[in-house]
Structure 1
């Protein structure tokens, strides 16, 4: 009977020690695990923003080559260039404003909406090159030191030939 109590006490003490060791191991491993996990999530967001903006530029270009202007939110005075920008915004799933875009079309750069104009996407039969410089702001300080100003810079572009559309 005494031996049985001795063994059960020994087992209880060993179990307490094991639980303490588990807590210490968890305290050592958890910060590293969380840093790696946050880094993976941040990288995934960077790639997602790149792919989303590439899709948006492609959709905007596909719309631009048709010469249509019906996507312009200003229904009373629809402009082709506004419709194309709106198509890019709609296709970017809300990321357009977040990436601080700088649009370049046919080697002319437009830094903000006040510089947009009717000729920026070319005329019928012209080759259209749309390039957008994007800056994705990083959410965590983990990767910020590796990027200029803590922002991931990427460029998305498409090249297409405008169709021979009539004047709109």
Structure 2
């Protein structure tokens, strides 16, 4: 009886050793680690790319509104265009150029508000006016940026904004 119990115990021990050795094997662990980490890494890489492109678009919008402000303070206009059309054209061309063509210029929304002077910006001004000589003008642009994938709140559209206040020079209107 003792021999039979010893044989049963021995077979149980050898069975457990085989099972434990099975779990000690390291075959395929690299594949499992890769399967766990690859989605995280790929998501991180796409997130970094998306953020970089979004920052490029934001920088292009800021450059465009700055260039429009610099152009608008002089009172100039391109031949065949009104001053307002010329300023909007500067915004669209600069944004497209600085974003390497990523921005669709037709989607840029331009808001312009004129004030008697710079101390009154932020208060109600003359909306839609590109300003008279000596007036302060606040140029604002917004652009709906379509991200690569949905963000946490369920939409892949992010509206980017840029603005700059300027003081118009004492130009001759209509020149």
Fold-level similarity (TM above 0.5): yes
Q: Does 1:123 align with 2:129?
A: no
Per-residue deviation, 1:27: 2.1
Which structure would you say has the larger Rg?
A: 2
Q: Does 1:78 align with 2:81?
A: yes
Q: TM-score, normalised by structure 2?
A: 0.67
**Greater relative contact order (CA < 8 Å, ≥ 6 in sequence):** 1
Q: Which residue does the alignment assign to 2:160? A: 154
1:59-74 equivalence runs, <5 A: 59-70=67-78
Q: Deviations over 1:54-92 (max 9, x none)?
A: 11100011000011112xxxx4x2321111111111111
Q: Which runs of 5+ in 1 are unaligned?
A: 1-16, 111-119
Shift in CA distance, 65/19, structure 1 to aligned 2, threshold 3 Å:
farther
Paired residue secondary structure (1:103): strand
Q: Which residue does the alignment assign to 2:47? A: 39
Q: Which residue does the alignment assign to 1:139? A: 148
Q: TM-score, normalised by structure 1?
A: 0.69
Paired residue secondary structure (1:146): coil
Shift in CA distance, 47/146, structure 1 to aligned 2, threshold 3 Å:
farther
| Two-structure CA RMSD over aligned residues (Å) | 2.4
Q: Does 1:51 align with 2:59?
A: yes
Structure 2 Cα separation of the partners of residues 41 and 59 of structure 1:
27
